[in-house]
A and B are shown apart, each in its own frame.
Chain A
Amino acid sequence: MSVVQISGLKKYFDAVHAVDGVDLSIQQGEFLVILGPSGCGKTTLMRMIAGLEKPTAGSIHIDGADVTELPPRKRGVSMVFQSYALYPHMNVYNNIAFPLKAQRREKKFDKATMRSKVENIARLLEIDELLDRRPRQLSGGQRQRVAIARAMVTQPAVLLLDEPLSNLDAKLRANARDELKDFQRSSNITAVFVTHDQIEAMGLGDRIVVMEKGKIQQIGTPQRIYDDPANEFVATFLGSPSMNILRAKGHRFGFRPEHFLPKTLQDNPENSVSFHYFVKRVEYLGSDRLVYGYVGGHENELTLAKVPSNIRVSLDIDSEYEFAVHYDDIKYFDEASGERVEAQVAGAAWR
C-alpha cells in the first residue's frame, strides 16, 4: 500500500525548474532514497512533501488524503534536517517533547504519558542519559539521534531525512548508517532519505530514485540502478570511478572500470569483446590498481580499468595489453538522447 502518492509535481523558482514533473509512489515501510547531484531538485522535492514549499503544479497524497494545500503540521510527516535544527534554548527532553506538546491540544493526553513517550524513544535511540543536556553540549552523533527521536516521537506516517549524515565525520557516518537502517527496519516506518552520496544511497535504500535537472531518471533497487541503468546519466553518476563512455557510430557505449580486465583473466573469453589497451598511468589504491589509459581507436577518450590487487599481472606504463569486457557488461546509449538502447538497436556487431 502506498503511503505517499506524488503526481505531476512541479516547482518553478522564476525561470529555474527545480522540480519538473515528478510522479512517485512510496510504499508503506520502505526506505526510499532520493539520490542526485546538488541542485537536481531532490531537497525541493522533499520540502514539498513536508509542506515547507508550495508546489507550482501537481498533487501530493499522504495516506490517501490530498495534502497539497495543507500546512506541514496537518500532514502527519516529520523531518530530520541536515543541520538537525535542534532548538538551542531547550534541553534534550523538551526538544523531543516539542512535537508532543503541539499535539496535546487536540489529542488530550497527560504529562505522564508525554514523559513516558519521550523516555521510550530516548531509550530506543540510547540517548536517555542525555535528556537534561542542552544541544550544544552534545556531539554530532548524539545531536543526530536527538533529531531522529524528535521526528519519531509522534509516530508520523512518513519520516523525511535531509542528508542527516553529512555533518558526521567519516567513521561515525558508517556507524550511523547502520543504526539508522536497523532502526527503520525495526520500527517499520516509511522513510524518505535525501542524499548526494551514492554509497549512502546504495547502502540504505530499499529503492533509489535518481534525480537530475528536476526529473526522475530512474527508480529501482540499488542493484538494478547500478547494473541496469536507464540512461547515460544514471550510468555515469553511480560508481566510482564512473563508467567509461566511448563514442561509436550512431551511439555511445560504456562499461564499468571493474569489468574491464586483462583478457586472460576473463572467465569466459568467447563471450567478451577485446580491446587493445594502452596504459598511461597506474595508481595503487591498496585493494585495487586503478589504471588510466585508452583503447585502440579511441585515443582521445580516457578509459579506466580497476584491477583488484589479487590479480598480479604486471601493468607497465606506456605498454599495450589485451583487455576484455563481457558482452553483458557493455551498455549502449542513444547518441542524441543518452537513453539506454539494446545492442541490436545501437548496431553494435561485436559477435
Chain B
Amino acid sequence: MNALGFVLTNFWALLVLAFLGLVGLRIVWRVRKFGATRRELRHVLRRSPFYFVVLVFCFFAAAPFLIMFLHTFKTDGDLYRRPQPFVYRQEPTLEHLDALFTNTAYLDFIRNSVLVGVAVVIITLLLSLPAAYALARLTGRWGERAGILMFLVYLVPPTLLFIPMFRIVVLLGLKDSPLSLIVVYPSFTVPFSMWLLQGFFKAVPPELEEAALVDGYNRVEAFLRVVLPLSLPGIISTVVFTFTLTLHEFIYGLVFIADTSQRTLSVGVPTELILGDVYFWQPLLAAALIIAIPVGLAYNLFLDSLVQGFTMGAVKG
C-alpha cells in the first residue's frame, strides 16, 4: 500500500515531473541528433506551449477514467467532504476494491458477461456473415429491400420488446439463466453486424471472387478463401462492436435474470452497488473502470477499420 499511497497522494507533483521529464528527454534526443545545444533548447522551449495544449486535451479526454481510478482508493471521509476529485486529503485505501471482489459477485458478473458475449458473437457471426454476403453480392431488386427491412428490426427498442421476449424466455424455460440472453441478444446484434459486414464485403472487388470461381472453386469456397481473409479487419471490428453491444445491454439482462449470481456486469454492478439512493461510489467506479480498460484497448486497436466500416457502405454503395 505504501508505494501506491505515495503515488496517489503525490499525483500532481508526479504529473508535472513527468511533463518536465518528457520535455527534457526531447531536448536530449534532439541535441544528440542535431547537436548545437542552444538552438535545440530554444526550439523545444518554443514548442512547449503546443505540447502543453496537447497535454491539456489528453487530460480532458482521460479525466473520467482518471477520476474513476483516483476515487477507487479514497476513504468515505475524503470522498464526501467537499469534493476534490484529484487530491487525496486522507491516506488512500484498498478497502473498497477488496469489498468489490468479496462482498459482491463481481467475478461471477464478469464470467457471465464474457460467456454471454462470446456466445452471442459466435452466433452473430454465423448468421450475419452469410446474410451480409448475400446482401452485398447476390441481391436483385428485392434483396436490397429485404436488407433495409432487416435493419429496421434493429431500430425497435428493447423497451418495447422486453415483455414479449420475457414470455418467450419463460416458455423456453431459460428464465434466470444467462442462456436467455444468448438467445435474445442476437435479435439486435445480427441486424447491426450484418449491415456493418455488408459494407466490408462490398469493398472486396467482385472480380476477385470471379477469379476464384474460374480457378476451380465454388461460391462458398471463394467466399471462405478470398472474401473472408480480405475482410478480416472488418470482421474483427464487427466482433468488438457486437461484444460491447452485449456488454452494456441492460433491460433484457435486468428482466430475464433475477438470480444475482447469474447476472451480467451491466445489470449486476448497479443492482448490487446502488441500494435505493445509496451509491457505493468507490466499488462502483472500480467495477466500471476494470471492464472499460480491455474494451478501450480493443477499440483503439481497431479504430481505423471500425470508422472505415461505418462509412464504407455509405460512400461506395
Binding site for B on A (CB under 8 A): 50-52, 71-73, 77-79, 81-83, 85, 87-89, 98-99, 102-103, 150, 154
Contacts and interface: CB of A to CB of B under 8 A. Distances in A.
B207 A99 contact: no
B216 A85 contact: no
Contact of A79 (B214, B217, B218, B229): B214
Contacts of A98: 212, 215
Contacts of B211: 79, 81, 85, 87, 150
B229 A89 contact: yes
Nearest to A83: B207
A52 B213 contact: yes
A73 B213 contact: yes
A50 B212 CA distance: 12
Given A83-B205, A83-B207, A87-B226, A103 B216 contact: yes
A73 B217 CA distance: 6
A71 B221 CA distance: 13
Interface in B129-175: none
B42 to A, nearest CB: 44
A71 B208 contact: no
A78 B215 CA distance: 7
B214 A102 contact: no
A79 B216 CA distance: 11
Interface in B224-244: 226, 229-230
B210 interface: yes
Contact of B216 (A50, A52, A73): A73
Given A73-B218, A81-B207, A83-B207, A89 B213 contact: no
Contacts of A103: 216
7 closest Cβ contacts across the A-B interface? A102-B216, A99-B215, A85-B211, A85-B207, A73-B216, A72-B213, A72-B214
Given A78-B214, A81-B211, 17 more contacts: A52-B213, A73-B217, A73-B218, A79-B210, A79-B214, A81-B210, A82-B207, A85-B205, A85-B211, A87-B212, A89-B230, A98-B212, A99-B215, A102-B215, A102-B216, A102-B217, A150-B215
Q: How large is the interface on B (under 10, 10 to 19, 20 to 34, 35 or more residues)?
A: 10 to 19
B78 to A, nearest CB: 55
A85 B208 contact: yes
Contacts of B221: 102
Contacts of B218: 71, 73
A16 B218 CA distance: 29
B283 to A, nearest CB: 47
A71 B217 CA distance: 9
Interface in B165-219: 205, 207-208, 210-218
Interface in B213-272: 213-218, 221, 226, 229-230
Nearest to A76: B216
Contacts of B216: 73, 99, 102-103, 154
A181 B217 CA distance: 29
A89 B208 CA distance: 11
Contacts of B215: 73, 78, 98-99, 102, 150
A77 B212 contact: no
Contacts of A72: 210, 213-214
Contacts of A83: 205, 207
Contacts of B217: 73, 102
26 contacts: A50-B210, A51-B214, A52-B210, A52-B214, A72-B210, A72-B213, A73-B213, A73-B214, A73-B215, A77-B214, A78-B215, A81-B210, A81-B211, A83-B205, A85-B210, A85-B211, A87-B208, A87-B211, A87-B212, A89-B229, A89-B230, A98-B215, A99-B215, A103-B216, A150-B211, A150-B215
Contacts of A51: 213-214
A79 B226 CA distance: 17
A81 B208 CA distance: 9
B189 to A, nearest CB: 27
Contacts of B213: 51-52, 71-73
A184 B211 CA distance: 21
A62 B221 CA distance: 24
Most B-side CB within 10 Å, residue of A51, A77, A81, A150: A81
A88 B214 contact: no
A85 B207 CA distance: 6
Contacts of B207: 81-83, 85
A297 to B, nearest CB: 53
Contacts of A79: 210-211, 214
Contacts of B205: 83, 85
B99 to A, nearest CB: 50
A82 B208 CA distance: 11
A285 B162 CA distance: 79
A81 B214 CA distance: 11
B280 to A, nearest CB: 50
Contacts of A82: 207
Contacts of B208: 85, 87
Contacts of B230: 88-89
Nearest to A81: B207
A159 to B, nearest CB: 11
A88 to B, nearest CB: 7
A52 B216 CA distance: 12
A52 B230 CA distance: 21
A345 to B, nearest CB: 47
A138 to B, nearest CB: 16
A72 to B, nearest CB: 5
A4 B229 CA distance: 35
A119 to B, nearest CB: 18
Chain A CB within 10 A, most for which of B205, B216, B218: B216
Nearest to B215: A99
Nearest to A103: B216
A102 B215 CA distance: 7
